[in-house]
Chain A
């Protein structure tokens, strides 16, 4: 049970072959991030593996295994590279018109499953 998320561990500590991780948080900042490359026989049970690519021979049991592009507008605590206002995470917009003039655009964002 350890919080290995990228906020606490930008670089994961080394793991020994055959290690079993239980109820741990491995979330990475960027999708498709290799973790524990070259380590064999790993088992992940009940872990958060968001944006992780585990070694090919690793076992995962009841883990969250998604690849997600995070929007910086939604996650100020993630210290992500700042998205532009009209980034590719925009899912909807509202235009604000006053006296026939477009004065503002409100953007709605969602993280993207990749």
Chain B
């Protein structure tokens, strides 16, 4: 287990052994380090080409992950992000062709295509990372990358979706906003868990899902079309305990299940044009302020609300007293 260092502004021996002698490019680290090593990174690397991770993988036996951790200017991990700036020049910030690599405190931005792309990778972890202003998706898995985890990450203003086609992935406490199409597009992707995230102001749906996905405890607000849409395929999904608000343009809905195989329940809806569209199985819902509501078999009994026992108002309206869940989710604000 060896620690290495990357600092594009370093002027020492460029051997990665210390901050003074840090490697000046993440590419050198990607080509060198092996399972169990940790690479501390600080500053900004302006890219003219993609950084390829295609040499060494971590493992899940004795050595463990290869970790890349962003640090502040003093070399301490305080959440300050190491910036990979595609500079409107690099096709991707990084391209993943290895497995079991962990990124903490990284920013991937301004690539001409996707911020991060992967081909055959699995077991990737992204913690407290930002993916923004990329010419494709924030991160694109080609429906091949699987078994990965995205935690407390922020995806904004990407040219397509925030996250695109990740299979078998856990997405926790993330924020996806202001992306040109969807916040999260799981088309051609199944078996993911989407838990406690925030999706707002995206150009199409908050979440686009194919199926076999668990969607729980999320907030979808003010996306251009639907909060959650399942558009193709016959695979079921489960959507429980989410809040869908302000999907209020004509034809839009909180949930649109176009093939009618999903199961939804205990979701909260407010200020949508339609709460449930094409939904067959809805266990319990609260509709409030919708223009129309359509569900084939819905139990409309009361019992669920977005107020705490102390009547604190968690609803995502401009006059709500609290606009976030208790778990702090990065919005970039």
A residues with a Cβ closer than 8 A to B are: 1-3, 5-8, 23-25, 27, 46-48, 50, 62-66, 68, 75, 77-78, 111, 113
Contacts and interface: CB of A to CB of B under 8 A. Distances in A.
Contacts of A46: 109, 132-133
Main secondary structure of the interface of A (DSSP, over half): loop
Contacts of A47: 133, 157
A77 B204 contact: yes
Contacts of B203: 3, 5, 7-8, 77
Given A5-B203, A7-B224, A25-B157, A50 B178 contact: no
- Chain B CB within 10 Å — which of A2, A47, A48, A65 has the most? A48
**What is the interface residue range for chain B against chain A?**
20 to 34
B135 A7 contact: no
A75 B160 contact: yes
B48 to A, nearest CB: 14
Contacts of A62: 85, 109-110
Contacts of A1: 156, 177-178, 332-333
A98 to B, nearest CB: 27
Contact of A50 (B159, B179, B332): B159
A70 to B, nearest CB: 9
B112 interface: yes
6 pairs of A and B residues whose beta carbons are closest in the complex: A7-B203, A25-B157, A3-B178, A64-B133, A48-B157, A5-B180
Contacts of B81: none
A16 to B, nearest CB: 21
Nearest to A50: B159
A24 B181 contact: no
B136 to A, nearest CB: 8
A88 B138 CA distance: 26
A33 B311 CA distance: 49
A77 B159 CA distance: 12
B117 interface: no
Contacts of B181: 7, 77-78
Main secondary structure of the interface of B (DSSP, over half): loop
B192 interface: no
B201 interface: yes
B175 to A, nearest CB: 11
- Chain B CB within 10 Å — which of A3, A7, A78, A113 has the most? A3
Nearest to A4: B178
Nearest to A5: B180
Given A25-B178, A64-B112, A68-B159, 18 more contacts: A3-B157, A3-B177, A3-B179, A3-B201, A6-B180, A7-B204, A23-B132, A24-B178, A25-B156, A27-B159, A48-B133, A63-B88, A64-B86, A64-B88, A64-B133, A68-B112, A68-B135, A111-B135
Contact of A27 (B180, B202, B224, B333): B180
Contacts of B110: 62-64
A24 B157 contact: yes
A5 B201 CA distance: 11
B165 to A, nearest CB: 13
Contacts of A65: 88
A75 B160 CA distance: 8
A91 to B, nearest CB: 13
Contacts of A8: 203, 224
A79 B207 CA distance: 19
